[in-house]
Amino acid sequence: MKKIFFLFLLISLNLSAQEIGYVETGHGVYKFLDRMDVLKIIEGYNSFELPKTRKSVSKYLGMVIEKKHKLNSNDNEYLDELIVEFEADLFGTITNAEKIISEKGVSFADSYWENEKYVYFLKENEFSFYTNLQFETGFIHSTSDEFSDKSYSGLYKFGGNVRGTVNHNFGFSLFGTNGSFFGSKPLAKSSKELKYHSKFILKEFPNTNTDFYDQAEGFITADFGYINFKLGNDRNLIGYGREKIILGDYSASMDYFSTSINYKFFSFTAIHGGLSNGFNLLNPRTGENIKIDDKFLAYHRFALNLGDDWSIGAGEMAIYSNRSVDFAYLNPFNFYKNAEHTGDGLDNTLLFYDFSNQSIAGLKIYGQLMFDDLRFGKIGTSWFGNQSLLNLVVFTTPFLNSFPLDIELQYLRIDPYFYAHRSVANNYANGEYPLGSVIPPNSQHLNLAIYYRFTGRLKTFAEFTFTEHADNEYGSNGELLVNHGGDLFYDRLLEDSYEAPFLSGKLEYRKSIMLNFEYEFLNNYYADLVLMYTDDKGVIDNREEFRTHFTIRFKL
């Protein structure tokens, strides 16, 4: 039985988090904190940058615990689950944690199935160590003719992670998995986590096994309260809404170094990371080796919380390549646009502004305006060089605390040639996939998401999307005929028109409906069912697909 009452007694003794590290971007606690934020249960929370530190997450959970009496029963059930998981971070105790390996040998306690699970853990005054084993297996079925060899594919993987804290200020984490598949390999390759796995998606070579895939992430971090440093490789999500326009999860994660400062109403974040210019090491036509030059991303953002209802931010990104690390971009307090202008002028720099407002309980509005290039004298015209992106998001809980339903609406408008660059090596991509939104340039996109929690362990998510995209015109052999600024891998050429009207080109439409059920039948044992219908309509071809994806995942 969960010792919730005992945990509440500890609140007055220890409100500071004891563990150093980060909560992975896919964790359900973030959507829960979004809901608590819009209900004004917590203060100062901003979802613009993920992941958050364990200290930060536990701080907000502490605010929720203090107002637990204001939550409905479903939210309270989920909060109880989070209290068990983040007990060490909230209270510095591990009374609801179970381990398989102990001084008495290997065993499963009766309370193991409902408590937080570890293969082994050790928590002392200056040191903590936690390790888990993780397993996942899934089945995908598709009705698309694209996978006519087989209409199904099975994926399975296993691995584990270790994390810990040293001397209250330093943390580490290492995560790795290895897996394989059966059934249709093209269908397996189309899954989100495998499409950018270079060895798995390459054509098979003699004596080379490409039927497995692996994943590894890890970092070390130093947390000194107001300032945090991090070196490693894991997933970052930056931007508001379901479609992240700065850093999304459509490309492989990158190796990077980051610095963050958070002090009361002020925050600052800087990231410098390494990217890829491509996957293939062999030219498919000549068989010769292809030189892959270094490519880097620099990002920084300054933000202010203006009271309880408003926050504003401004930042820059820079993509540069074909040279080693540039100290002008490694300096987090430099102006990237100025660094580009005083350098060779070939780098790709972008500027953005963002805001959020929650003056009305149950309603929060987010906005972002990003500029790739801008000439004031050409504003209001269709000149190709004015490239901007508009992102508007509304997040609401229309029934407040009485009904656990959340609605999120997002609108994106992306100008022609946005994310592209005159040097294709400096486009806004990591390898062959976009760094930010998967929505291409010269598009507008609408996303409606509905979240509902039946119980603390059963939740559902429904999403409807509509995208209108004006693509470039290509010949039968794939050669570019007319450039409308609809592909981030094709910037404007000298022979292309100076005019690039929005949504001019080969019009394509995509509609999709997704329904996702997640059920935690035992603590840390999950069953996920995703049903998705996609309808693509273009000038040349139309395509419909109904996809089912069922997954079982758990950790020991």
Sketch the domain layout of the chain as residue ranges.
1-123, 236-555
pLDDT at site 105? 64
387-396 vs 405-414, strand pairing mode: antiparallel
Sorting pLDDT into bands at 50, 70 and 90, what band is 435? Answer: very high
- Burial per residue of 330-361, b for 16 or more beta-carbon CB atoms within 10 angstroms, e otherwise: eebebebeebbeeeeeebbbbbbebbbebeee
Spatial separation of the C-alpha atoms in residues 153 and 183, rounded to whole Å: 4
Give residue-wise pLDDT tens across range 131-156: 999 999 999 999 887 776 678 899 99
Residue 341's pLDDT band (cuts 50, 70, 90): confident
Q: Are 37 and 406 in contact (CB under 8 A)?
A: no
What mean pLDDT do residues 69-92 have? 92
pLDDT class for 476, splitting at 50, 70, 90? confident
The mean per-residue pLDDT over the stretch 99-112 comes to 71
Band the pLDDT of 377: cuts 50, 70, 90.
low
- Sequence-ordered list of residues with C-beta below 8 angstroms from that of 286, at least 6 positions apart, any chain: none
Mean pLDDT of 31-36: 94
pLDDT at residue 15, rounded to an integer: 45
The predicted pLDDT at position 518 comes to 95
298 has which bridge partners? 272, 318
The structure tokens 């109904």 sit at 546
Percent of the chain topping pLDDT 90 = 55
pLDDT at position 440 over 90? yes
Residue 76: left (phi > 0), alpha (psi -120 to 50), or beta?
alpha
pTM of this structure:
0.89
Residue 382: pLDDT over 60: yes
Query: DSSP letter at 108?
Result: -
Average pLDDT over residues 393-400: 92
Q: What percent of the chain has pLDDT over 70?
A: 88
Q: Quick check: 17 pLDDT over 80?
A: no
Among 2.40.160, 2.40.50, 1.10.10, 1.20.1270, name the CATH number for the domain at 236-555.
2.40.160
> Can you say how many angstroms the Cα of residue 84 is from the centroid of all Cα atoms in its chain?
25
State pLDDT tens for residues 502-542: 999 889 999 999 999 999 998 889 999 999 999 988 755 67
Mean pLDDT of 389-416: 93
| Range 13-28 average pLDDT | 76
CA-CA distance, 266 to 394, in Å (whole number)?
Answer: 24
pLDDT digits (tens, 9 = 90+) for 187-216: 888 888 887 776 776 654 444 556 888 889
Can you tell me the mean pLDDT for 2-31?
67
> How much is the pLDDT for 411?
98
Strands 348-357, 97-99: pairing is: unpaired
Whether 554 contacts 135, CB under 8 Å: yes
